[in-house]
Amino acid sequence: MSERLSIDELAALVRRVFAPGAGDTHLVILIDQPDLSVKDRPEWLDRRRLALEWRDGLRQGGLAFESIRLYVYPNVHANNADLPPAAFLWEGDAPPQELTNLYGDAVAFDEIFSRCSIVIALTELSASAPLKIAAPRCGFRAASMPGFSRAMVPALRLDFDDVQRRCESIKQRLDASQSATVVWTAADRHGELRIDLRGRLAVASGGVIREPGIAANLPSGETFIVPYEGEQPEMSSHTAGVLPLQLDGELFFLNIEANRVVAVEGEGPVAANRRKAFEAEPAYANVAELGLGILADYGVEPVGETLLDEKLGLHIAFGRSNHFPGGTVGPDDFSRPDRVVHIDYIYLPQTQPDVRIDELVLEDAGGGRETLMRDGSWII
């Protein structure tokens, strides 16, 4: 399969994902720009080139938009941090390579969002959180595609309606549950993490973004839910246990109580780095998301980017959560805007080879239990 969408495929993608109608008059593509702090890399430059290809291809695709525009903005130095106040319209045939190459009058994001119906964000640093917050306020719908690469193009050819139906089935199960227990084996150690789901509703994100006010990842194929974070003073969170984590080949363990990482077990440099990060930003220690990706069952392979890889299996995120239903941890809980994070850790054999998810078990208020995953594979 080609790793490039034809003009007809681009137009069909927009129709399948967004189902544009007569009231959808303006489509916007967003890219972010490297600077001296967050330097360019080949994959980022290619994504900006891809965005220009999509802009030009969609303009030729027979879609009934009055305008299809591309805006570039200075990167915000962190995933899911708030967007800058404004962006620049870019009509060049090649992407800008330096921030100083931007020209023309800046356009406030409030103005951009108030005029457009559909946003496609092909960014290096995730804009998912600010888009999820702005979409219902401004009435647009958005596909957030941080880290997208041409290797992910096959995942854009899936039957999103079928993926959405399966995600909805998982959502119904999560909505009826009081807790989820992740049972794991890591090297010769066994343990579990119980995640408190009381009072929370899940989101089914299958790549269908057809209602105003919705922002979701693309490619997509996951159902996610924010754990109860203990925001009610009289009711503490029951999220507790141990979670293994293997990064850069190093295996270590997160001890979690009341939905927060309270200790990092491990003597290596990666464990030390995570320990320091949690201590420096206590909001990062918040368990922000339980995500259940299903695209591995559709034959999709990991590519080394969170955008796609998290859609293949179980993942757990830490940090910001207020861009999801029920989430209470936001930018004000971090020390600086550029330190706002929402970081997903993905449990696949390719990403954490020494960690196995033995079971994922849901429990409802009456004590009824259902196993969704066994030995790393879905059984529903």
What does the pLDDT look like over 57-106, one tens digit per residue?
A: 999 999 999 999 999 999 999 999 999 999 999 999 998 866 665 656 89
Torsion angle, alpha carbons of 77, 147, 288, 201, to 10: 130
Torsion angle, alpha carbons of 27, 53, 12, 221, to 10: -90
What does the pLDDT look like over 140-188, one tens digit per residue?
A: 999 999 999 999 999 999 999 999 999 999 999 999 999 999 999 999 9
Q: How many residues in the chain? A: 380
pLDDT score, position 102: 63
How does the average pLDDT of the chain come out, rounded?
96
pLDDT score, position 1: 47
Give yes or no for a contact between 237 and 226, defined as CB atoms under 8 angstroms apart.
no
Kindly list the strands in the beta sheet with 107-108, ordered across the sheet, starting from the edge strand earlier in the chain: 107-108, 86-89, 67-74, 26-33, 118-121, 141-144, 215-217
pLDDT score, position 98: 66
- SS3 for 224? strand
Residue 81: CB atoms within 10 A of its CB come to 24
d(CA 357, CA 375): 6
Sign of the dihedral defined by the CA atoms of residues 159, 160, 165, 167, in that order: positive
Confidence of residue 215 (pLDDT cuts 50, 70, 90): very high
By DSSP bridging, strand 26-33 and strand 67-74 are parallel
Confidence of residue 3 (pLDDT cuts 50, 70, 90): confident
Q: What are phi and psi of 166, to 5 degrees?
A: -70, -40
Give yes or no for a contact between 200 and 193, defined as CB atoms under 8 angstroms apart.
no
- SS3 for 233? coil
d(CA 65, CA 186): 52
What does the pLDDT look like over 227-265, one tens digit per residue?
A: 999 999 999 999 999 999 999 999 999 999 999 999 999
Q: What is the pTM of this model?
A: 0.88
First to last CA, the chain: 29
Domain ranges of the chain: 7-155, 158-378
What does the pLDDT look like over 27-37, one tens digit per residue?
A: 999 999 999 89
